[in-house]
């Protein structure tokens, strides 16, 4: 058994730079984004509106289109125009046209009075207050100007974006391909969660947790099952990913034990770019690429640690931004904020540590409470966490009230205590 890892310990930011240098967005495909549940896809083109919205002046309320210059003088109602109808008439002085919300405002009219401010009897209209030109009229291009760029490349499609695409009539658009991410668990002690577990065994939580995290990051997750700690079994699994995935995540087998085979296999099949990070939890996290003949992009491989918290935190800090970049996301990083500690935080002596926390808004600032014991096998420390505190190494605790930087991994939590 080796006593010393042959891999130098790289700082977190250097590890992130190395990964980013190997990531280029995957290909682009054109799809009907409205009818293919394309939410979560990232736009690969800028979207322009060809026409203004509205395209003609429209009534913003139900009421009467009239000439503001007529003041409060009574008018004769000459017609009714509903939404979707063609006006085809003119409002002359002393006349008005009954209009519904969204109806085109007839020529000659320069204001719409709300029905609530009028009375109509036998075709005679009285208005209770004078109007100014433009009142209650949605002018041409008020919402979207002709030729305006409404969405930019790198935007993730959500409800508003899909609505905008439909509004400007862009149904087929260029989006980035979803990365295919294969996930492999390793370990002789690792078992399917719903099967028999022998004494000393553990249920495979990593593969399922990582696949969920992969999907949350907008990718397609493919399970490669559990590989025994055997070189030929694990080699075959890695080669399977070379064939059919853009990215491979492995769990376990990256530490210093005699049954930790992932690093030597990655060195054999490809290039290991780093094999240790000055980072807690997840020091042995490894990044490698495997070139493949006939294909433009190499397989990106992240060897994640076996302990469940280490694997998920390493995923968040190193893998997720890469997966977002692969699909062209213009903002691949989680937001960074400054938070005030509600509980004291105990740092690790030698490495920066990402500690799980629950962040909410309290008394005018972002406040973080710890999720409790931060052991790398205690998955419960991830539960409810919407942030990771970036805790610099040291020997003194950060007291309650101190400020730290945090990565926001989810929506702010309600804070009621
Ligand atoms: P390793 O890095 O392979 O030595 O794994 C370290 C520890 O992580 C093991 O002793 C297990 O307790 C745990 N572990 C490894 N793989 C998994 C997995 N797929 N799911 C849950 N725990 C795991
Ligand atoms: Mg193992």
pLDDT of 294-311, one tens digit each? 898 999 999 999 999 999
Cβ(284) – ligand 1 distance below 6 Å:
no
Least Cα distance to 142 among 75, 219, 59 occurs for 59
Last residue of a domain, which of 297, 326, 355? 326
288 lies in the same domain as 185: yes
Residue 151 sits in a domain of what CATH number? 3.90.105.10
289 lies in the same domain as 193: yes
Segment 170-194 shows an average pLDDT of 98
39 lies in the same domain as 79: no
Whether the per-residue pLDDT at 416 is higher than 80: the answer is no
369 lies in the same domain as 379: yes
Cβ(251) – ligand 1 distance below 6 Å:
yes
Cβ(305) – ligand 1 distance below 6 Å:
yes
pLDDT at residue 88, rounded to an integer: 82
Count, residues in the chain? 417
Q: Summarize pLDDT for 389-398 with one digit per residue, the tens.
A: 999 999 999 9
Segment 100-126 shows an average pLDDT of 97
Whether the per-residue pLDDT at 1 is higher than 90: the answer is no
156 lies in the same domain as 213: no
289 lies in the same domain as 270: yes
Q: What is the DSSP string of 370-395?
A: E-S---TT-GGGGTT--EEEEE---S
Residues whose beta carbons lie less than 5 angstroms from ion ligand 2: 187, 252-253
64 lies in the same domain as 128: yes
Residue 121 sits in a domain of what CATH number? 2.170.190.11
Segment 202-219 shows an average pLDDT of 98
Cβ(204) – ligand 1 distance below 6 Å:
yes
Residue numbers of the domain that contains 358:
336-408
Distance from Cα 58 to the centre of ligand 1, integer Å: 64
Segment 82-86 shows an average pLDDT of 91
pLDDT at residue 417, rounded to an integer: 58
Residue 258 sits in a domain of what CATH number? 3.40.980.10
pLDDT at residue 168, rounded to an integer: 98
297 lies in the same domain as 159: no
Whether the per-residue pLDDT at 45 is higher than 70: the answer is yes
pLDDT band at residue 2 using 50, 70 and 90 as cut-offs: confident
Least confident of 138-147, 334-343, 408-417: 408-417
CA 22 to chain centre: 21
Q: Summarize pLDDT for 121-179 with one digit per residue, the tens.
A: 999 999 998 999 999 999 999 999 999 999 999 999 999 999 999 999 999 999 999 99
Inter-residue contact 66 to 151 (CB < 8 Å) = no
Residue 387 sits in a domain of what CATH number? 2.40.340.10
Mutate to test the pocket of ligand 1, among 202, 204, 256 (most ligand atoms within 8 A of CB): 202
CA distance 234 to 255: 15
Q: Summarize pLDDT for 242-293 with one digit per residue, the tens.
A: 999 999 999 999 999 999 999 999 999 999 999 999 999 999 999 999 999 9
Cβ(190) – ligand 1 distance below 6 Å:
yes
Last residue of a domain, which of 308, 326, 344? 326
Cβ(223) – ligand 1 distance below 6 Å:
no
34 lies in the same domain as 171: yes
């Amino acid at each position: 058994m080796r006593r010393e890892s042959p891999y130098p310990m790289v700082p977190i930011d250097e590890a992130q730079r190395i990964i980013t240098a190997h990531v280029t967005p995957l290909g682009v495909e054109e799809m009907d984004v409205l009818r293919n549940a394309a939410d979560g896809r990232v736009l690969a083109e800028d979207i322009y509106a060809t026409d203004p919205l509205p395209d003609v002046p429209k009534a913003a309320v139900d009421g009467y289109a009239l000439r503001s210059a007529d003041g409060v003088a009574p008018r004769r109602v000459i017609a009714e125009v509903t939404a979707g109808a063609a006006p085809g008439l003119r409002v002359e002085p002393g006349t008005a046209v009954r209009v519904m919300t969204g109806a085109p405002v007839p020529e000659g009219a320069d204001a719409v009075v709300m029905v609530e401010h009028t009375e109509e009897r036998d075709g005679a209209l009285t208005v209770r207050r004078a109007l100014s030109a433009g009142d209650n009229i949605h002018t041409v291009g008020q919402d979207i100007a002709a030729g305006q760029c409404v969405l930019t490349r790198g935007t993730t499609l959500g409800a508003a974006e899909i609505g905008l695409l439909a509004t400007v009539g862009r149904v087929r658009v260029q989006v980035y391909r979803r990365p295919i991410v294969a996930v492999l668990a390793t370990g002789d002690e690792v078992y399917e969660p719903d099967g028999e577990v022998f004494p000393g065994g553990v249920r495979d939580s990593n593969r399922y947790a990582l696949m969920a995290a992969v999907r949350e990051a907008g990718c397609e997750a493919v399970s490669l099952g559990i590989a025994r700690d055997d070189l030929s079994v694990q080699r075959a699994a890695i080669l399977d990913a070379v064939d059919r995935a853009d990215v491979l995540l492995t769990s376990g087998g990256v530490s210093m034990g005699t049954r930790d085979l992932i690093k030597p296999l990655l060195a054999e099949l490809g290039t290991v770019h780093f094999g240790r990070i000055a980072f807690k939890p997840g020091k042995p996290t490894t990044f490698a690429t495997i070139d493949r003949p006939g294909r433009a992009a190499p397989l990106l491989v992240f060897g994640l640690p076996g302990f469940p918290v280490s694997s998920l935190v390493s995923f968040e800090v190193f893998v997720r931004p890469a997966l977002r970049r692969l699909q062209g996301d213009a903002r691949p990083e989680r937001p960074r904020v400054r938070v005030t500690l509600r509980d004291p935080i105990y740092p690790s002596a030698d490495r920066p540590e990402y500690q799980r926390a629950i962040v909410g808004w309290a008394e005018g600032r972002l406040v973080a409470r710890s999720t409790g014991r931060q052991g790398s096998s205690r998955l419960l420390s991830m539960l409810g966490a919407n942030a990771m505190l970036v805790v610099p190494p040291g020997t003194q605790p950060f007291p309650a009230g101190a400020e730290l930087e945090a990565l926001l991994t989810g929506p702010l939590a309600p804070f009621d205590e």
